[in-house]
Amino acid sequence: MNELADRDDVLTITRRINGGTNGLVERKANLAKIKSWMS
């Protein structure tokens, strides 16, 4: 899973955790927000 996170593969991580795409839009938005804080 770390390799997926390193590639920002939110879709695959979400599918593995949830078995679907529940919350995908929110997860992508949160990732973008966190990445902007870290830059």
pLDDT tens-digit map of 15-35: 999 999 999 999 999 999 999
d(CA 5, CA 16): 12
d(CA 8, CA 4): 6
d(CA 12, CA 19): 10
Which residues constitute the domain of residue 24? 2-38
> What is the per-residue pLDDT for 20?
95
Structure tokens at 34: 């966190």
Residue 1 pLDDT more than 90? Answer: no
Number of domains in the chain: 1
pTM: 0.79
Strand, helix or coil for residue 29: helix
Structure tokens at 18: 């949830």
> What is the per-residue pLDDT for 25?
96
